[in-house]
Copies of this chain bind each other. A is one copy, B any other.
Amino acid sequence: MQHTPQMRLTTQRQIILEELGKVTSHPTANEVYDMVRKRLPRIGLGTVYRNLELMSDTGMILKLEVGGTQKRFDATVAPHYHIRCLSCGKVDDVDIPMISDINRIAADKSKYQILGHHIEFTGLCHDCSSVEEKVSIN
């Protein structure tokens, strides 16, 4: 018989969680590493990766598999949608209601057992829209 192992609340984990909770920017693992390192200078990048993975597995945080080259992390675990800037890669929340029916509709059309969905909008953020205007004037 095997008992469920305890996940220890180490200093590293507390601080990762705190720092992630402070921002709304959906940081990458490396950005979390930079944030945490200001308070724990000797933490390793591997530790950050291991713990972000672990915490997203247990549902304490959200791992965002959005487009782009890096995964991103979010302390807000309530389901919501995202938008990514095609120019600078920034990711923001989109505050529209969840489409609750869509999983059932998709289930009727698919052989998969559907467990969830995510919507990713793409576009240009305010800053990048302005820059594009300026560039296109030239």
Contacts and interface: CB of A to CB of B under 8 A. Distances in A.
The oligomer's copy count stands at 2
Interface string A99-138: 1001101100111111111111111111001000000000
A18 interface: no
B118 A123 contact: no
A117 B117 contact: no
19 contacts: A65-B68, A83-B110, A83-B114, A85-B112, A92-B112, A94-B109, A94-B110, A96-B102, A99-B99, A102-B119, A110-B121, A111-B125, A112-B123, A112-B124, A112-B129, A115-B123, A116-B121, A117-B122, A118-B120
A66 interface: yes
